[in-house]
Amino acid sequence: MSSRILPDFELLLPQSVPEAVELLAAHRDRITVMAGGTDVMVAMKFAQSPAQLPDYLMSLEHVPGLAYVLFDPDKGLRIGAKATIAELLAQAEVKQHYRALWNAARTFATVQVRNTATVLGNLLRASPAGDCSCAIYAIGGTVALQGPAGRREVDIDDFWLSYGVTARRPDELAVELILPPPAAGSRCAFKRMTRTNEDLAKLNVAVRLEMAGNTCVDARLAMGCVAPTPLRLTKTETLLKGRELTAEVLQSVAASVPWEIDPIDDKRSTAEYRRQVSGVLLKRAIQEACGAA
Amino acid sequence: MNRETIVGTSAPRVDVRDKATGQALYAADIDLPGMLYGKVVRCWEHAHARVVRLDLSAAAKSPGVVRVLGPQDVTANRYNSSVLDLMVSEQMHDMLGDIEDQRIFTDHVKFQGDAICGIIAKSEEAAERAAAKVIVEYEPLPVYLTADASKQPDAIRFTPEKPGNLAFQLPEPMFPGHALGGGDVEAAMRDADLVVEDVFYVPKQKQCQMEPHAYIAKLDSTGRLNCWTSSQMPKLVQAKLAKLFGLPMSLVKVTPTVIGGGFGTRLGLISEPQACAMAMSVPGHAVKLLTLREEDWVISPSRHPGKYWMKIGFRKDGTPLACDARFENYKGGYYLDASGTAFTAGAWLGGMYKFPALRYKGESYFTNQGLTGAYRGYGNPQTNFVLEQLIDRACAQMGADPVEWRKQWHKGVGDDGWCPGVTYPSCALDECLDRGAAAIGWSEKRRQYAHQSGTVRRGVGVAVMNHTSGAMPMLLEHTACTVKLNEDATAEILFACSDMGQGSHTALKQIAAETLGFPFDHVQLSSGTSDVAGFDIGAHASRTIYVGGAAVKKACEDVRRQLLERAGRHLQVSPDELDIRDKRIFVKADPARAIEAETITRAGVYHFIDPATGQAGGEPGQIQGYVSFFAPHNSPPFGASFAEVEVDTETGEVRVLELVNAHDIGRAINPAAVEGQLEGGIQQGLGFVLSEEMYYDGNGRILNNSFTDYKMFGPSDMPKITTILVEDPDPVGPFGAKSVGESGLVSPVGAVANAIFNAIGIQFTEAPITPEKVLKGILEQGVRDYGSIGGAH
Amino acid sequence: MKNRDITLHINGEECRLNVAVNRTLLEVLRDQLGMTETKYGCGTGECGACTVLLEDGKAINSCLTLAATMDGKRITTAAGLSDFGRVNHIQQAFIDEAAIQCGYCTPGMVLKTASLLATNRDPSDEEIRHALEGNICRCTGYEKIVKAVRKAARTMPAPAACGAETCTEVAQ
């Protein structure tokens, strides 16, 4: 059960990234970072034991210069730590070049949450159900982390370690996400299944295909809610690479997915159902990416 | 042509300006000077356990704490949080076996969330912090989540009064063989050419009213216990609290607050006993008790889930011969409402079709699930899900059109309604079926969908229902109403029944204004407080307009008669020759001969004696009308719903494209409000059949007590809605009105299930029909063209 | 810090407050300022009963917002849409279309409508329904609420005629 009143904590309001990193280094495991706060606030209200509660809450509210969504045709898309889902949606280039992410963002939660929640926050939550996380996984990219020793970039493929755990070290601040520039012939799509339209996904999938005519040169397939973290379907990807996307190929791709995932029963669906529809959803995403849907 | 000018219009609601600007005060919004805050400490770890140790000492020392209360610090009296026991005679009450098995704080936890102790502190935060310091040790007991589990001979008894944990079954003296109905079911089944039979599961649905339960209580300096509550039945709460605390009713005052949605959840008591017990320990101080959403979820009763078996026999020409049914519902840990749904589910079954033989058994078993009680529809959606699917199964096998079959065999005028001896005075179900079918394009679409190909299939389905207008003859139907005329000939009406947001007070004001012949704005209506309002059983059983409206009308007729008598003496005509329009009383045959109502009322109040003449003008006495009204009958509404769905056969996902709700409501006093009831009902009916269910882990702990995990249809899930108000005035109801409060959600349930059957040729026996179940059904049975089933065409 | 001095501009009025840092904006509005038009419905950002608007007409859940981080912000509540009991065109549309039943969701609904119309003066039904996700109503089935939003769009004062007073309706 939750509490109506938030637990006690000290609020930290750093004025800059270096100051934030300094505070992280000083308090390490006793600090929780809050950008939009939509996850952090709920987690604090529902904390089951004092051990789950932070002593310090660091809000990025006063850290300037992190709320950007910047597109450069050569360098790609840079999303700052404080950029909200709504701010991402407001960028025409996102809709044009990163369709999977835009679609994930569009159905993400509700207006109020989109106005507050951040794109990076969705990655850092490290939930297997994150819609934006799924889309970003398929698109590929790197997360920039600022620590006491400087900045490092972690490939999204190496970012999620286990449920709720990322490669971010306790003294590091995730400052931005960089998505690769759009390539000619690159197509992407996102699809999800929910109980009602406004819901967390029971299954989501995103694809990025590099196409030469009707032949798939390269593919990145990501699926959510089928493992402790968002999952790359690497085996299924190999069935696509170098192949023409015929009905037979799509059928073999769909048939391969259930063997690659490890879903569970939970509040939103069953392991059995997720296996049953995983191939269908992936097939539909590929068809949509190729403009066939 | 109706001659009324106010009844039948969508008059703007009386409460909406305050609600639009946020000024309406719900219980949580009320702040009293020096107010303290209560917190109920609940058992979240177990659904069945004994408290072996309760240590409040650390909590008592926590900063800001004023009092801590354990089971020993409050009355040991038990109560039944439902009010059904107040609505039946003592004799009936004994026969039903109603018991009082709840305590304010318990040492035997029977469901997750049972109350253990209470904290009173100077702030909400202090109360919460102290609550965390309460030490409770439990001895876990075996958890029973179904009737099959709790009825085992070695199961622990929930209460010594109920052997076998059978909380209720239809009592033998009234229902021979513990069954409702009549005729020889066995023999009729033997004669049947076609028998359809199945076991269904109906889900545990939550009301999800938007305002979480909140209370304020205060023992004032006169020794009177005050309670501010959004209960649907303030007068019965007053009676219940008086009994629980051993106080005369004159020392219990209940002040109803604006209600943020009811749907049955506020029928009776919820946390009023805890709030009042806290207040009694700190005389002179108001105590506010608020609940979290996830707490509200477990402490308030929800819809009865359970196993529902039914068997129906037909002759091959479609004639129904017999219906045999048994609904075994799963109570929560306490008795409340155990008799209600178990009975009504069968009553509505009996009220629907002309079965020459019927045998319905209803049983309620204790389980360690959360509490079950009243929820809009009260047993009817459960029956609809089962009955209407079996009828369609039979229709498919017999090659009968489901609309035509229903038109031929539904009960109607003169037939027994939900209780033998109380016949239907009106029924416009045929018109509902005809207009609904036309609106959805029934014949055309049924033809079209009989044979389909592709992965996406469509279907249309129909279901019908009967409900009730009040609870006569089973329960007390008593309402008092007082109308007083002010000196300026405006009316002030006192009527204790709450408006839960459905617009009942607006419609009642329309009835009053119409009856009096006064403008709408010259009539005021209020529920008052329990110390000034007369008796009323409250807003339940869709009774407020049918019974309450009749009471308001009678009280207003009393006032009208007095006005006309005085006017008659003044104009020297018989009162029968007079009429009132816009507060002007005139001779019908000669409208120029008239007197203003205000002339009469002013003289009645300001009755001065002229010192010069020693004479007074007019007649003395303020005019007041009063009625203590008992409903003489029950005129149930009927309804037909039509649904069109699309089923994705690769994923099992069902999309509802359109829902037509055609209802025989007698007469719409306020058409916009009536539409609002039917539209809102659709949202809850769709939830019942497709998406809503509370569920528990193996230890009886709820898994989805939040809007994150329990999914209702949102704005973008709702289908195209068509509401058809079929107005065929009832001979009994006020201005011909029947009820509409609950019924809108009932038949969408069966209609959607039947539309899925039409789309893929598969029926689903467990609600809600989730994509998981649909896909499983498709993989096991295969998609079938409806047109290929039995004799369907 | 455990407490913080902040200034909020609520419905055009400046409020200087000392707030405990663990207080949500919802708690501060209701308990410290007595602005009970903002409702607690779930506390977890699902139901939208606690919706308030920020300066650009952006709707947020006040139950998921720490008041201490809102220093200097302009906030509009449902009371801020009306002018001492004179309802604005959105509230009037909800009244006219019988879109209000129990009323508990209504303050959030009218604010959500204001936020939608601030960026989209002529929303389609689909856009309206998509925008209303996040504001739960259990009474109406949303049918009349969608109609009310449509009517509010039709009756919205033209931007040219938008004087200081009417502009406060969407963007305090």
Peptide bond into B305 cis (omega under 30): no
Encoded tokens for C48: 């939208």
3-class secondary structure, B139: strand
**CA-to-CA distance for B670 and B323, rounded, in angstroms?**
38
**Phi, psi at A83, each rounded to 5°:** -70, 130
Task: Answer whether residue A3 shows pLDDT above 90.
Answer: no
Residue C159's pLDDT band, with cuts at 50, 70 and 90, is confident
For residue B769, give the chain A residue with the closest CA. Answer: A195
**CA-to-CA distance for B571 and B558, rounded, in angstroms?**
20
3-class secondary structure, B105: coil
Encoded tokens for B726: 């079929």
A15-31 pLDDT, tens digit per residue, is 999 999 999 999 988 99
Predicted confidence at residue C160, as pLDDT, reads 56
Nearest chain A CA: its distance from C53 CA (Å): 9
Task: Answer whether residue B566 shows pLDDT above 70.
Answer: yes
Give contacts of B 78-107 with C, CB under 8 A: none
Residues of B in contact with C31 (CB under 8 A): 124
* Binary contact (B714, C136; C-beta < 8 A): yes
b/e burial code for range B368-404 (CB count within 10 A of at least 16 → b): bbbbbbbbbbbbbbbbbbbbbbbbbbbbbbbebbbbe
Q: How many residues does chain A have?
A: 293
Nearest chain C CA: its distance from A215 CA (Å): 36
Enclosing domain of residue C11: 3-80
Summary mean pLDDT of chain B: 96
Predicted confidence at residue C171, as pLDDT, reads 39
**CA-to-CA distance for B729 and B733, rounded, in angstroms?**
8
Same domain, C130 and C142: yes
Is position C112 within any domain?
A: yes
* Binary contact (B771, A193; C-beta < 8 A): yes
**CA-to-CA distance for B716 and B772, rounded, in angstroms?**
21
Same domain, C88 and C160: yes
Encoded tokens for A144: 């920039």
Question: Which of C85, C102, C146 minimises the CB distance to B261?
Answer: C102
Question: Which of B21, B29, B501 minimises the CB distance to C139?
Answer: B501
* Binary contact (C128, B258; C-beta < 8 A): no
Nearest chain B CA: its distance from A185 CA (Å): 29
Q: Where do the domains of chain B lie?
A: 31-141+210-261+266-299, 377-468+636-788, 478-630
Same domain, C85 and C160: yes
Average pLDDT over residues B268-276: 97
* Binary contact (C60, A4; C-beta < 8 A): no
* Binary contact (C103, B672; C-beta < 8 A): no
Residue B2's pLDDT band, with cuts at 50, 70 and 90, is low
Average pLDDT over residues A111-138: 97
Rounded alpha-carbon distances, angstroms, from residue A197 to A113, B679, C111: 15, 19, 21
Task: Answer whether residue B622 shows pLDDT above 50.
Answer: yes
Q: What is the CATH number of the domain that holds C146?
A: 1.10.150.120
Tell me if residue B742 is catalytic.
yes
Q: What is the count of structural domains for chain C? A: 2
Please tell me the number of Cα atoms within 13 Å of B294 on its side-chain side: 21
Among residues B742, B766, B772, B780, the one annotated as catalytic is B742
Distance spanning both ends of chain C, measured CA to CA: 29
Same domain, C67 and C86: no
DSSP type of residue A8: P
**With contact defined as beta carbons under 8 Å apart, do B495 and B508 qualify?**
yes
Same domain, C67 and C97: no
Average pLDDT over residues A224-238: 98
Q: How many residues does chain C have?
A: 172
Does the structural domain B31-141+210-261+266-299 have CATH classification 3.40.50.720? no
Burial (CB count within 10 angstroms: exposed 0-12, middle 13-18, buried 19+), residue B31: middle
Is position C172 within any domain?
A: no
Tell me if domain B31-141+210-261+266-299 and domain B377-468+636-788 are identical in fold: no
Residues of B in contact with A276 (CB under 8 A): 775, 779
Average pLDDT over residues B319-338: 97
Q: Delineate the domains of chain A, giving CATH numbers in brackets.
A: 10-59 (3.30.43), 69-179 (3.30.465.10), 186-289 (3.30.390.50)
Predicted confidence at residue B291, as pLDDT, reads 96
Predicted confidence at residue C83, as pLDDT, reads 83
Encoded tokens for A203: 């299954």
* Binary contact (A10, C2; C-beta < 8 A): yes
Is position C59 within any domain?
A: yes
Nearest chain A CA: its distance from B651 CA (Å): 6
Task: Answer whether residue A52 shows pLDDT above 90.
Answer: no
DSSP type of residue B735: G
In this predicted model, which residue has the larger pLDDT, B459 or C84?
B459
**CA-to-CA distance for C115 and C132, rounded, in angstroms?**
10
Same domain, C95 and C39: no
One-letter amino acid of B418: W
**CA-to-CA distance for C107 and C110, rounded, in angstroms?**
5
Average pLDDT over residues A137-156: 98
**With contact defined as beta carbons under 8 Å apart, do B660 and B724 qualify?**
yes
Task: Answer whether residue B358 shows pLDDT above 60.
Answer: yes
Q: Is C111 an interface residue toward A (CB < 8 Å)? A: no
**CA-to-CA distance for B448 and B453, rounded, in angstroms?**
11
Task: Answer whether residue B695 shows pLDDT above 50.
Answer: yes
Predicted confidence at residue B789, as pLDDT, reads 92
Helix (H) or strand (E) holding B595: strand B590-596
Same domain, C61 and C95: no
Neighbouring residues of B691: CB distance < 8 A, sequence distance ≥ 6? A195, A196, B711, B712, B713, B768, B770
Same domain, C87 and C137: yes
Residue A293's pLDDT band, with cuts at 50, 70 and 90, is very low
**CA-to-CA distance for B561 and B566, rounded, in angstroms?**
9
Question: Which of B294, B714, B779 minimises the CB distance to A196?
Answer: B714
Rounded alpha-carbon distances, angstroms, from residue B29 to A60, B217, B260, B703, C62: 33, 14, 12, 30, 16
Same domain, C106 and C151: yes
- A interface mutation test: which of C4, C21, C52, C112 has the most A CBs within 10 A? C21
Residues of C in contact with A198 (CB under 8 A): 133-134
Is position C55 within any domain?
A: yes
* Binary contact (B124, A277; C-beta < 8 A): no
What is the CATH T-level fold of the domain B377-468+636-788, as seen in this structure?
A: Aldehyde Oxidoreductase; domain 4 (3.30.365)
Q: Tell me which of C31, C58, C80 is where a domain ends.
A: C80
- Tell me the CATH architecture of domain B478-630: 2-Layer Sandwich (3.30)
Task: Answer whether residue B541 shows pLDDT above 90.
Answer: yes
Same domain, C16 and C42: yes
**CA-to-CA distance for B426 and C5, rounded, in angstroms?**
67
3-class secondary structure, B148: helix
